């Protein structure tokens, strides 16, 4: 072997030392992609009581939903921890049968900023419109305005199943929802006036009170069941139903709820 050949071999080995795997990089040598942090959902709810069965069914469904959509949620049962910094971690608030009273002053102010400034989305159900003076708490007027300037008036205490008719089939919340479907065993809140009268309220669906089974005298006439407030920067939607666990056996409700979460969280 000549000195020239020896020099070439040493030089080649030195180059390979700079790249031990040689010129070709195997798939295993490519760094893994940095996974995006899952979007966080805050679920504000009460446990137990007359809505306990619904709440339990909701969380059973939600566990599967967040796993399928690579989301995460945190459950809280009071507003004591809510402030501006706390809400900054969350892209969506689900107010799952939690009333619009018992909120601390800090929580109220943080929530108002969150909704008015569009810092995240909101999905509210049933108990969220229990607006009035309850348990020695005054009515939260801002929340009443958010829901269309309404005040809780009455409810179908005996429960009734009823047909809900979709009014805006083009809205993302109503994608894949049948034009009409039955909601079982609900309380059907009524209000002192129709939220539809508020210019910012856009009704997505309403309940046909003539289909109450069993029948009830507690009626509004025109009775919105799903609506959004278009005057807020936050994407938001409210569902009047939310009393019985059987609601999660209703495919159209599950579809609406799924759509609402993904739309409000902008995913």
- Sequence-separated (6 or more) residues with CB below 8 Å from residue 232: 115, 116, 118, 146, 200
Cα separation, 69 vs 66, whole angstroms: 5
For residue 58, tell me if it sits in a domain.
yes
- Note whether 205 and 166 are within 8 A (CB): yes
Tens of pLDDT along the chain (267 residues) come to 555 454 444 444 444 444 443 333 333 333 443 456 789 999 999 987 777 789 999 999 999 999 999 999 999 999 999 999 999 999 999 999 899 999 999 999 999 999 999 999 999 999 999 999 999 999 999 999 999 999 999 999 999 999 999 999 999 999 999 999 999 999 999 999 999 999 999 999 999 999 999 999 999 999 999 999 999 999 999 999 999 999 999 999 999 999 999 999 996
Q: What is the pTM of this model?
A: 0.86
Question: Do the domain assignments include residue 97?
Answer: yes
Alpha helices in the chain (DSSP H): 3-18, 52-68, 84-87, 105-116, 141-146, 251-264
Domain count across the chain = 1
Strand-pairing partners, residue 182, are: 163
Residue range(s) defining the domain that contains residue 65:
39-264
Nearest-angstrom CA–CA distance, 51 and 74:
19
**Could you tell me if residue 117 is inside a domain?**
yes
Instruction: Judge whether 32 lies within some domain.
Output: no
3-class DSSP state for residue 250?
coil
Provide the CATH number for the domain around residue 149. Answer: 3.40.50.880
């Amino acid at each position: 072997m000549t000195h020239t050949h020896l020099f070439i071999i040493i030089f080649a080995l030195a180059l390979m030392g700079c790249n031990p795997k040689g010129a070709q990089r195997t798939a295993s040598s490519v760094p893994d992609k940095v996974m995006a942090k899952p979007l966080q959902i805050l679920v504000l709810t009460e446990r137990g009581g007359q809505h306990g069965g619904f709440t339990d069914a909701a969380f059973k469904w939600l566990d599967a939903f967040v796993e399928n959509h690579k989301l995460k949620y945190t459950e809280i049962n009071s507003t004591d921890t809510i402030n501006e910094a706390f809400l900054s971690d969350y892209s969506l608030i689900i107010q799952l049968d939690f009333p619009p009273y018992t909120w601390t002053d800090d929580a109220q102010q943080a929530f108002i900023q969150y909704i008015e400034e569009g810092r995240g989305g909101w999905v509210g159900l049933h108990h969220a419109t229990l607006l009035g003076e309850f348990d020695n708490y005054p009515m939260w007027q801002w929340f009443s305005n958010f829901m269309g300037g309404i005040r809780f008036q009455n409810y179908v205490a005996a429960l009734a199943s009823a047909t809900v008719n979709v009014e805006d089939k083009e809205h993302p919340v109503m994608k894949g929802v049948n034009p009409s479907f039955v909601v079982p065993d609900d309380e059907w809140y009524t209000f002192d006036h129709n939220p539809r009268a508020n210019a910012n309220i856009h009704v997505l669906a309403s309940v046909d009170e003539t289909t109450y089974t069993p029948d009830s005298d507690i009626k509004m006439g025109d009775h919105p069941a799903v609506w959004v407030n278009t005057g807020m920067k936050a994407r938001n939607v409210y569902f009047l139903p939310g009393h019985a666990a059987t609601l999660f056996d209703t495919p159209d409700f599950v579809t609406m709820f799924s759509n609402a979460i993904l739309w409000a969280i902008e995913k």
